[in-house]
Amino acid sequence: MIEICSDVDAAVRGIADGATVLIGGFGRAGMPFALIDALRRLGPRELTVVNNNAGNGDTGLAALLAAGQVRKVICSFPRQKDSWVFDGLYREGRIELELVPQGNLAERLRAAGAGIGAFYCPTGVGTPLAEGKETREIDGRSYVLEYPIKGDYAVISAYQADPLGNVVYRKTARNFGPVMATAARTTIVQVTEVVPVGTLDPEAVVTPGIFVDRIVKVEARSYTVQGAR
Amino acid sequence: MTEPTIEHPAVENTDRGPLTTDELAAVIGRDIPAGAYVNLGIGQPTKIADYLPTGEDGNPTCILHTENGMLGMGPAARGDEIDPDLTNAGKVPVTELPGASYFHHADSFAMMRGGHLDVCVLGAYQVAANGDLANWHTGKPDDIPAVGGAMDLAIGAKDVYVMMTLFTKKGEAKLVQHCTYPLTGVACVSRVYTDYAVFDIQPDGVHVLATYGITLADLRDRVNVKLLG
């Protein structure tokens, strides 16, 4: 059953200490700022957060990190010119990092959502990121065994949704949203617009409602590429 | 896309070079085939976009892929064109060309891993004579590692080109017998474009295709790798 939440605080309820939260976005594009702010107000701690990055500037994911709510980050690209919050926590040993090649991050989420137990992947073979992992030669090529990343919650941002939970995204803000939506027990989506059933072109729906649990309408995009909110 | 072994001798350009970054970007741009699906890495390779062959419509004859989820990427956005939902992998606002498409991360990296992407151009700390690539981590203990899509691109694109300066600031060649930095991918680079020379990595060894501002003899003196003509 899809729930249309009255506000973002209602949308994030139940996210508890120690939860694994898949947070959409690539840098700021597609980052669910309003839901992350609600998560900060809710205050669960010891979270494991999965995102491509580890926060930019002082808002969104970076603010959640700064609030001391995150124990571990699973991401592909933490170090950026505006990742000072993560950098500080990491250097002080106050946050754990699991570094995952970007494509493996996406595929491990996809595997979780598709019920795949594990998969052999050529990315990272012969590199430090494959050390200690099972490898196998298939048709003359080497592969590394990679396991799914399941989330307790997925917290993502999209453009439009209908009350049946069908979701469409905008441009490159789509990024991790569709795979994360499949990979969590509870998927929470913030959208700019909730449209009536029958409005979305069924051919253009990217995330079908079966993958979505809660929807909440937020103010139109609340971020800029420069980072000012 | 793999070309047969090239048997022509190196072109020695002693009257021009070493190349500036823009000149090098132009040399690489000319080598990108029409119709190819191409990913230009973050940093120096992004400049190649300014030097791609164009068709009658003024747009590149190749199709640019950006791993955050788009084919048909256009030039950097300016002024009113800037849309926070539309960025490249470096998180810089970009534009879309007619015929562009958007997709999620798992599809984007399937394009690499599945062997659909024709060419990628990456920066590098070091490239080894056998095509090993090191470009993601210096390995220094205080350095926060970040890999992004580098490992997926390195093993996924049909042709992996490297764009780099040939020498470090200390004058050490970055084309080496064995990489001392942590590897990104094993035996994956097919061509190395540098300010002093262009190298083709083939099963029989490293061929020099062209030199810029240096003779082949001097190049052989300064690079500790057996260089074929």
Tell me the whole-structure pTM to 2 decimals.
Answer: 0.94
Tell me whether B87 touches chain A (CB under 8 Å): yes
pLDDT of residue B142: 83
* Alpha-carbon distances, residue A42 vs A7, A21, A136 (angstroms): 13, 14, 44
Return mean pLDDT, chain A. Answer: 95
Question: Is A78 in contact with B185 (Cβ distance < 8 A)?
Answer: no
Contact between chains at A107 and B146 (C-beta distance less than 8 A): no
The percent of residues in chain A predicted with pLDDT above 90, rounded, is 93
- ipTM, 2 dp: 0.94
Q: B12 catalytic, yes or no?
A: no
Rounded Cα distance between A72 and A163, Å, is: 34
Q: Is the pLDDT assigned to residue A223 strictly greater than 60? A: no
Residue A228 has pLDDT above 80, yes or no: no
Q: Does B105 touch chain A (CB under 8 A)?
A: yes
Q: How many CB atoms lie within 10 A of CB A22?
A: 29
Answer whether B178's CB lies under 8 Å from B128's CB: yes
pLDDT tens profile A120-140: 999 999 999 999 999 999 999
Beta-carbon separation of A99 and B102 below 8 A: no
B40 falls within a domain: yes
- B76 touching A (Cβ < 8 Å): no
DSSP A27: T
In a domain, A203, yes or no: yes
pLDDT in tens, A25-64: 998 899 999 999 999 999 999 999 999 999 999 999 999 9
Of A78, A176, A206, the CB nearest to B146: A78
Range of the domain at B71: 11-228
Q: Provide the pLDDT for residue B141.
A: 84
The pLDDT confidence band at residue B8, using thresholds 50, 70 and 90, is low
Number of domains in chain B: 1
Of B7, B56, B67, B81, catalytic: B67
How many domains, in total, are found in chain A?
Answer: 1
Of the two residues B9 and B135, the one the predictor is more confident about is B135
The CATH code of the domain that includes A154 is 3.40.1080.10
Among A177, A153, A165, smallest CA distance to A31 is for: A177
Whether A81 is covered by a domain: the verdict is: yes
Kindly state whether residue B35 falls inside one of the protein's structural domains: yes
Residue B118's pLDDT band, with cuts at 50, 70 and 90, is: very high
| Residue A6 falls inside a structural domain | no
pLDDT of residue A202: 98
Q: What is the pLDDT of residue A219?
A: 87
Does the CB of B44 have a partner CB in chain A at under 8 Å? no
**What's B130's domain CATH number?**
3.40.1080.10
The number of helix segments (H) and strand segments (E) in chain A equals 6, 12
* Model confidence at B5: pLDDT above 70: no
Tell me, yes or no, whether A134 lies in a domain: no
Q: Is residue A46 part of a domain?
A: yes
What range defines the domain where residue A85 resides? Answer: 15-99+150-216
DSSP classification of residue A29: B
pLDDT at A229 over 60: no
Q: Which residue has the higher pLDDT, A227 or B142?
A: B142
**Residue in A157, A146, A201, A141 with CA at minimum distance from that of residue A26:** A157
By Cβ distance, the residue of B104, B113, B146 closest to A123 is B113
- pLDDT tens profile B19-70: 999 999 999 999 999 999 999 999 899 999 999 999 999 999 999 999 999 9
Q: Which amino acid is at B167?
A: F
Does a structural domain hold residue B29? Answer: yes
Task: Name the packing angle between helices B105-113 and A102-114 (round to 10°).
Answer: 120
Least Cα separation, residue B96 to chain A (angstroms)? 9
The type of residue at A14 is G
pLDDT tens, A58-108? 999 999 999 999 999 999 999 989 999 999 999 999 999 999 999 999 999
Which pLDDT tens digit goes with each residue over B153-193? 999 999 999 999 999 999 999 999 999 999 999 999 999 99
Nearest residue, CB atoms, A172 vs list B102, B152, B186: B102
In angstroms, the separation between the Cα of residue B106 and the nearest Cα of chain A is 5
- Residue A224: the pLDDT is 55
- Reported for B166-171, long-range contacts at CB under 8 A and 24+ positions apart, including other chains, are B166/B18, B166/B194, B166/B195, B166/B196, B166/B197, B166/B223, B167/B196, B167/B222, B171/B222
Residues in chain B within 8 Å Cβ distance of A97: 144-145
Mapped onto helix, strand or coil, the DSSP state of residue A184 is strand
* A-interface mutation test, from B80, B81, B91, most A Cβ less than 10 A away: B91
Encoded amino acid at B189, one letter: V
Give the C-alpha separation, B16 to B196, whole Å. 10
∠ CA A124-A83-B95, rounded to 5°: 80
